[in-house]
Chain A
Amino acid sequence: MKVPYSWLKEYVDIDITAEELQEKLFGCGFEVEELIDLGKEVSRVVVGEVLSCEPVEGTHLQICQVNCGSYGNPIQIVTGAPNVYAGMHTPAALDNSTLPGGITIKAKPLKGIPSDGMLCSGEELGLNDDLYPGAEVYGLMDLPKDTVPGTDIREVVGMNDYIFDVTITANRPDCQSILGIAREVAAALGKELKMPATDYTVSDYVFPSLDITVEAPDLCPRYLGHGVRNITVGESPRWMKRNLALCGLRSISNVVDITNYVLLEIGQPMHAFDMDQLQDRRIIVRRAKDGEKIQTLDEKEFTLTPDNLVICDGNRPVALAGIMGGLNSEITENTTQLLFEAAKFARDNVRKTSRALGQSSDSSARFEKGISEYITELGMARALHLIQELGCGEITSSTFDCSAGAPREGKRFTASLKRINAILGIEVPAEEVLRILKNLNFEVKRDGDTLDVTAPRYREDIEVGEPDLAEEVIREYGYDHVIPTFLKAATVTSGGKTPAQQRRDRVCRILCGQGYHEAYTMSFYSDSDLDFLRIPEGAPERNVLRIKNPISVNLSIMRPLLAPSLVNVVVENLKKGNNEGRIFEISNIYIPRDGELPDERPHLGFAAFGDAEDFFTVKGTVEALGEALGLSFDVERASDVPWLHPGIAAYILCEGERIGCFGKLANEVTGELKLHKDAKSNHKIFLGEIDYNAMMNHMAASFRYRPLSVFPSVVRDLALTVAEETACGDLMHEIARACPRVSDVELFDIYRGEQIGEGRKSMAFKITFEADDKPLTPEELDKYIKKILGNLKFKLGAEIR
């Protein structure tokens, strides 16, 4: 919110610099996001008195001798402005002066004629008519003759001013005005607050038949109306225009300016209806009818629902409550009588309507945060006072006050000094507490430790009890009084990660050890990401949680699968020329559930891409993971995972349970990636996804060491020939099953060739035999081998080579 320094000074005697005030405000909870020095960009520009003008023949230029006071008298300046005349007082930018927009003026000849500066227009100084009358005149600014040559122009045109751009926290809607900030400044400086005048006198006139009814007091707890007649619409006074302009508003007309002025000054959004446009001279505050329409001042049309509050006349909506007036009843230059509205509307209703319709305004911004009824009363009185002060209307006796009956006094409660200090952890002297609360307009009576407190009416944020008072006290007393203590009174507790959290760290470390880098991807993506991975309609993954208000459609569903996110990471990397990489992520996937919070299941997703990768390098990762966790994984062909190659994909089984899958990205997906088709690495994308909890559930709760056999193990090699389609895994499985003494089977060679024959292959295994109870004799081993061979031949048609 913009707060001009000069405007603030109308209410408080500020005897510190703008920078010091910025610090003060910061200290008591009002961060000044930007301190704008209005004249910052202007330097060495002074009032110049044009002594003489001498036209240069054949040009539009004139050579002026200018009295610049102590800066030089005369100084020769050449100007092309047509409105220059001898005797004119006008801004003179001297040699090495600066103007807004980073412009520097240097002494340099114009068409060969020496010129030691530049005479300026209002626009060149960054002014407009509202900030300084006459600033928008074509040509040079014609300053009053009583300005003294050589005076810094910033003092003359009011640019020696600052604007504080203050951030107001959501709990302080009472500070959404110049007056609100002035109150805080007065309290912080221990100064008196000079209230703006709110007195006015009313005539005997009463508008016949004018009536106001509030039919929805829940959405409009207070509605004040006051009739004004004999309006003379005209210009606003200079001080009003300037203050509006400093806050970024253009002057429109006295009546409209008054409503804007009260909004900025008091914080009460005002509205003025043209009385003659109100049908039946009626105001009814009610919920809109379904389908009812209104066209607002900015000529936008909205179709309403009963969730929206409208101000209606006898027939139709004339304003969208708290947001914007209707075009049908706006103040025009022909308005002669009007009805002022100052109201309090329910903040959440204004917010919802504003969001739903996509229509907002300075008024709605204030209503959304909350307006107190005190401000509503003050705003109306101030507006009527300004009508009278500006002499632009007659204040009638037609006055209305519709109230839902909220109390008209501040919250009153008792509080304990001790408890205030107990919250803070320091001893703030009682006199300090009392002084601070008094400065903040709290009424306080002290009886020993007990304070009888009445909060100011505008402080609706204050809740009964000590915490709010503690905050008020410490922000004024100063946070530098807090003495850090390290949990002085707290019970000693043990702490740290749970075993499950520690196990998860371990899984991450295992994968890092396998060359994988941890990735963080967004928890949401879009349906098209599922389409891209060929997830069919009706698949369980299509049952997703949808975001009702996504930032974009690309981030609109909570992901049911990590794979699409990881594919995107791989593709983005390949696009950047990162031709290889291994990544993993453990993150939740989300499954809707009826009547309770969704199921958030952590999944472990991983991807490997690049020339060096193949199915088996990735399988190596899976095996290493299983081994490190003490789990035994089996694989089973996965030809029905839509995003994986049907021939190069496997399910991961742990104790017979499918816990995930991995493999090569399906050809049809790879083919559609927006990547160079000829780059080899673009075709080597492998990925997998594991249901993390399903995997971890198989982990043994505890680990115990297995005694070592005292007898050495024995290794025998066995070369077999089998049909080409026989799977290695089946052979290994049968070898182990055939003999309980087999402790390990390892494939060490595959051979295909003439000796083996068409359609067959040779596979050579290292088989380790072990016995705990006795040494194994060669005869026993021969017996085992024979048994193994018999089994393999019978079950898999394997022959010894």
Chain B
Amino acid sequence: MEQKIKALQEQMEQQISQIDTKEKLAEFWQEFLGKKGAIADLMKGLGAVAKEDRPAMGKVINEFKVLVEEKYQALSAKMDELELAARNRREQVDITLPGKGLPLGGLHPLTLVKNEMINVFASMGFDIFEGPEIEDDDHNFTRLNVPKDHPSRDMQDTFYLENELLLRTQTSGGQIRVMDMQKPPIKVLVPGRVFRSDSDATHSPMFHQMEGLVVDKGITLCDLQGMLDKFVQQIFDADVRTRLRPSYFPFTEPSVEVDVSCFECGGKGCSLCKHTGWIEVLGGGVVHPKVLENCGIDPNVYSGIAFGIGIERITMLKYGINNIGLLFENDMRFLKQFKE
């Protein structure tokens, strides 16, 4: 019996070394470990062994069985591993092929910049108000302290419609509407589309403005600069500063032009700032008391500051766009560059 086992073991070792497929492995299992396999045979033959030898012999057979099983398991695991590796190799893809998701669209750069600006002022407590694009003379001019004969009406070439209507030349009319509806404290931002009959590399007959208005007690010119400092630092760069210089708008007094120190060169002078170190970005001032009065707000109690920013101007500065026309051509190659 022992010899038989030994012979079987040799046979087994020899056989297992030649197995290279799962089918052969299965045959091997049948041959040795199956119900009618060699080890089952050995077990059956145990009856013929002397009773006192049976436990010892049984143990030997069992040890052999464990050995075969171990061998079988080891080979099976190894074959699984190989098979998996082969399968993985087969299934490998060219990971550099293009992805299949729907390509994303994107917002227009003017919207991106407008939202960025709104976020800055919203965090300062500004509401957002959008007024009508078609206005009457009263809201666009007269109540903003621009009387009928005033030459500053020529500063803005106005498009006129029938019935005394016009395309707003500034979003300031929105300020009037807000002050009509609401009494101080007021902090409002009025973004929107405006129109002037002007067209060249830096002017479009339609463009976008964002006006801001603060009316409260004790508001000063210093507040205007402080607030705008925060704005330009968030929009451009933490290091930029503003500079005020005198200007003229009928609805503010004093009126200022606001320049920022050049964020390209840090004020040393470069082509962006035309070698002056400063870039003109917006206009503003202390709200003219007549404008407050025109909206039923007592200028002896309240004061205000206002500013107007060209969204195109900021967008062009931010992204280095040198022709305003690009913003309205809607060339897919242009639009696709702006993501969000």
Which A residues form the contact surface with B (CB < 8 A)? 26-29, 169-173, 346-348, 351, 368-370, 422-426, 463, 465, 467-468, 470-471, 474-475, 479-480, 482-498, 501, 505, 508, 511-524, 545-551, 555, 558, 569, 572-573, 576, 578, 580-584, 587-588, 590, 597-598, 600
* Cβ-based interface call for B104 (8 A): yes
Taking the closest CB of chain A, its distance from the CB of B261, in whole angstroms, is: 13
- Interface residue ranges of B262-318 to A (CB < 8 Å): 286, 288-290, 303
Which of the listed residues B107, B255, B330 has the most CB atoms from chain A within 10 Å of its own CB? Answer: B330
CB distance from A345 to the nearest CB of B (A): 11
Q: Which residues of B contact A486 (CB under 8 A)?
A: 223, 226-227, 229-230
A311 CA / B126 CA spacing, docked (Å): 55
| Complex alpha-carbon distance, A171 and B145, angstroms | 12
A429 to B254, CA, bound (A): 18
Partner of A467, one of B107, B247, B253, B338: B253
Which residue of chain B has the shortest Cβ distance to A577 in the bound complex?
B333
8 smallest CB-CB distances across A and B, nearest first, come from A425-B220, A425-B222, A29-B246, A489-B218, A348-B149, A471-B254, A169-B248, A484-B226
Is B20 close to A, CB under 8 A? no
Contact B155 A170 (CB under 8 A): yes
Q: A470-B254, A493-B187, A558-B161 are in contact. Are A485 and B133 (CB under 8 A)?
A: no
Residues of B within 8 A of A491 (CB): 185, 216
Q: Which residues of B contact A572 (CB under 8 A)?
A: 329-331
Please measure, in the bound complex, the distance between the C-alpha atom of A169 and the C-alpha atom of B255, giving whole angstroms.
11
Q: Is the CB of B136 within 8 A of A549?
A: no
The answer to whether B205 touches A518 (Cβ under 8 A) is: no
Q: Is B122 interfacial (CB-CB < 8 Å)?
A: yes
Q: Of the candidates A487, A493, A519, A576, which one forms a contact with B219 in the assembled complex, judged by CB atoms under 8 Å apart?
A: A487
Of the residues A475, A489, A520, A523, contact of B246 by C-beta under 8 Å? A475
Interface segment, B46-54, B91-99, B110-118? B110-118
Task: Flag whether B79 is at the interface (Cβ < 8 A).
Answer: no
| Known A-B contacts A490-B219, A522-B328; A479 and B246 likewise in contact (beta carbons under 8 Å) | yes
Contact B244 A471 (CB under 8 A): no
Please tell me if the beta carbons of A597 and B135 are within 8 angstroms of each other in the complex.
yes
Contact A426 B222 (CB under 8 A): yes
**Which residues of A have CB within 8 Å of B185?**
490-491, 493
A600 to B192 Cα, complex, angstroms: 13
Q: A546-B161, A558-B167, A600-B132 are in contact. List 14 more A-B contacts (CB 8 A).
A: A470-B253, A484-B242, A487-B223, A493-B127, A512-B107, A512-B340, A516-B105, A518-B108, A521-B330, A522-B328, A545-B161, A549-B159, A558-B134, A587-B193
Residues in B whose Cβ lies below 8 Å from that of A548: 159-162
B253 pairs with A482, CB closer than 8 A = no
Cross-chain pairs A/B with CB under 8 angstroms, 6 sampled: A423-B220, A470-B254, A484-B242, A486-B226, A487-B124, A597-B165
The CA-CA distance from A514 to B105 in the complex, in Å, is 7
A550 cross-chain contacts in B, Cβ below 8 A: 159, 197
Q: Does chain A have a CB within 8 A of B58?
A: no
Bound-state CA distance A600–B165 (Å) is 13
Smallest CB separation, A783 vs chain B (Å): 41
Are A423 and B134 in touch, CB under 8 angstroms? no
> Closest residue to A610 on the B side, CB-wise?
B332
Q: Is the CB of B248 within 8 A of A520?
A: no
Closest Cβ of chain A: how far from B159's Cβ, in Å?
5
Tell me which of B133, B197, B220 has the highest count of chain A C-beta atoms within 10 A of its own C-beta: B220
Provide the bound-state CA to CA distance between A479 and B257, in Å: 11
Determine whether B256 belongs to the interface, using a CB cutoff of 8 Å to chain A. Answer: yes
Bound Cα distance from A495 to B333, whole angstroms: 36
Output the least CB separation between B319 and chain A (Å): 14
State the CA gap A426–B224 with chains docked (Å).
Answer: 13
CA A516 – CA B103 in complex, angstroms? Answer: 9
Q: Are B110 and A520 within 8 A (Cβ)?
A: yes
**Known contacts A495-B126, A582-B105, A600-B132; A465/B221 CB under 8 A:** no
| Bound: A28/B297 CA distance, A | 31
Contact check, B127 vs A496: say whether CB atoms are below 8 A apart: yes
List the A side residues contacting B244 at CB < 8 Å: 479, 482
Residues from chain B with a CB closer than 8 A to the CB of A424 are 220-222, 254
A404 to B259, CA, bound (A): 44
Contacts of B106 in A (CB 8 A): 512, 517-518
Q: Are B162 and A545 in contact (CB under 8 A)?
A: yes
> Does the CB pair A170–B248 fall under 8 Å?
yes
A29 and B226 within 8 A (CB): no
- Interface contact B154-A514, CB-CB below 8 Å: no
Given contacts A423-B220, A505-B115, A518-B335, contact A368 B154 (CB under 8 A): yes
Contact call B105/A485, Cβ cutoff below 8 A: no
Query: What chain B residues lie within 8 Å of A492 (beta carbons)?
Result: 125
Q: Using a CB-CB cutoff of 8 Å, which residues 189-226 of chain B contact chain A?
A: 193, 195, 197, 199, 205-206, 214, 216-223, 225-226
User: Does the CB pair B134–A520 fall under 8 Å?
Assistant: no
Q: Which residues of B contact A524 (CB under 8 A)?
A: 205-206
A495 lies within 8 A of B121 (CB): yes
- Residues of chain A lying within 8 A (CB to CB) of residue B161: 545-548, 558
Contacts of B254 in A (CB 8 A): 423-424, 467, 470-471, 474-475
Residues of chain B within 8 A of A172, CB atoms compared: 248
A residues near B243, Cβ cutoff 8 Å: 479-480
**Could you tell me if B118 and A497 are in contact, using CB atoms closer than 8 angstroms?**
yes
Specify which chain B residues have a CB less than 8 angstroms from the CB of A519 in the assembled complex: 108, 330, 335
Closest beta carbon of chain B to A424's beta carbon, Å: 5
Q: How far is the CB of A696 from chain B (nearest CB, A)?
A: 15
Residue with the greatest number of chain B CB neighbours at <10 A, chosen from A169, A492, A501, A505: A169
Asked if B181 CB lies within 8 Å of chain A CBs, one says no
Q: In the bound complex, do residue B151 and residue A369 qualify as a contact, i.e. CB atoms below 8 Å apart?
A: yes
Q: Does B148 contact A (CB under 8 A)?
A: yes
* A545 and B164 alpha carbons, distance in the complex (Å): 12
Contact A497 B219, beta carbon cutoff 8 Å:
no
Q: Which residue of A lies closest to B135 (CB)?
A: A597
Contact pick for B136, options A346, A426, A597, CB 8 Å: A597
Q: Complex: how many Å from CA A426 to CA B225?
A: 12
Nearest residue, chain B, Cβ from A467: B253
Interface status of B56 (Cβ within 8 A of chain A) = no
Q: Mark B68-112, 1 if CB is under 8 A from A, else 0.
A: 000000000000000000000000000000000011111110110
Point out the residue from B128, B133, B286 that lies within 8 Å of A588, measured CB to CB: B133
Are A493 and B125 in contact, with the CB atoms below 8 A?
yes
A68 to B122, CA, bound (A): 71
Whether a CB of chain A sits under 8 angstroms from the CB of B152 is yes
Chain A CB within 8 A of B44 CB: no
- Closest chain B residue to A548, Cβ basis: B160
Partner pick for B336 among A348, A425, A517, CB 8 A cutoff? A517
Compute how far the CA of A423 lies from the CA of B300 in the bound complex, rounded to whole angstroms.
11
Kindly provide the distance from the CB of A148 to the nearest chain B CB, expressed in whole angstroms.
37
Complexed CA–CA distance, A77 and B289 (Å): 71
Tell me whether A523 and B193 are in contact (CB under 8 A).
yes
Q: Give chain B residues whose Cβ lies under 8 Å from the Cβ of A480.
A: 243
Contact A490 B223 (CB under 8 A): yes
- A497 (CB) vs chain B CBs: closest residue: B128
B245 in the interface (beta carbon within 8 A): yes
- Cα separation A497 to B189 with both chains bound (whole Å): 10
A169 touches B247 (CB 8 A): yes
Q: Please state if A549 and B330 are interface contacts (CB–CB under 8 Å).
A: no
Contact B331 A495 (CB under 8 A): no
Q: Which of B102, B118, B222, B250 lies in contact with A483, CB distance below 8 A?
A: B222
Q: CA of A514 to CA of B199 in the docked complex: distance in angstroms?
A: 34
User: In the assembled complex, how far is the CB of residue A523 from the closest CB belonging to chain B, in whole angstroms?
Assistant: 6
- A547: nearest chain-B partner, CB-CB: B159
Task: Tell yes or no: B327 within 8 A of A by CB.
Answer: yes
CA–CA, A551 and B133, complex, Å: 18
Give CA–CA (A542, B123) in the complex, Å.
44
Contacts of B149 in A (CB 8 A): 346-348
- Report which residue of A494, A496, A569, A600 has the largest number of chain B beta carbons within 10 angstroms of its beta carbon: A496
B334 to chain A, nearest CB (A): 9
Q: Which residues of A contact B111 (CB under 8 A)?
A: 508, 518
In the complex, what distance in Å separates the CA atom of A170 from the CA atom of B162? Answer: 27
Chain B residues closer than 8 Å to A465, beta-carbon distance: 289
